[in-house]
Amino acid sequence: MSDVRHVLVLPDRDAAKEAVEALGERFGIDEEPQLVRDALAGEDDAEDAQWLVVLRDEKERLDPAELDAFAGEWDGWREEP
């Protein structure tokens, strides 16, 4: 079993929550993605935080290009490992 993970970087918490809800519908993922607040270096202000959506893809069935386009719908992107 592999430990493939995809990380989607989104501009704010609302976008991340919306993306998590849409992920299940669009990609049929079984496991709930993990939401992580990623403060920018040296910033304490919540306004300067990005949100990460971490997806496990042990069966390697998610297409990285499709995930990147998906994240782009919320002005985000897929981070390369």
Q: What is the pTM of this model?
A: 0.84
What is the distance between the alpha carbons of residues 10 and 18, in angstroms, rounded to a whole number? 10
Mean pLDDT of the chain: 87
User: What would the mean pLDDT of 11-38 be, rounded to a whole number?
Assistant: 91
User: What would the mean pLDDT of 57-66 be, rounded to a whole number?
Assistant: 92
**Do residues 11 and 74 touch, judged by C-beta distance below 8 A?**
yes
pLDDT score of 74: 96
Residue 2 has pLDDT above 90, yes or no: no
What is the distance between the alpha carbons of residues 31 and 59, in angstroms, rounded to a whole number? 12
pLDDT score of 47: 58
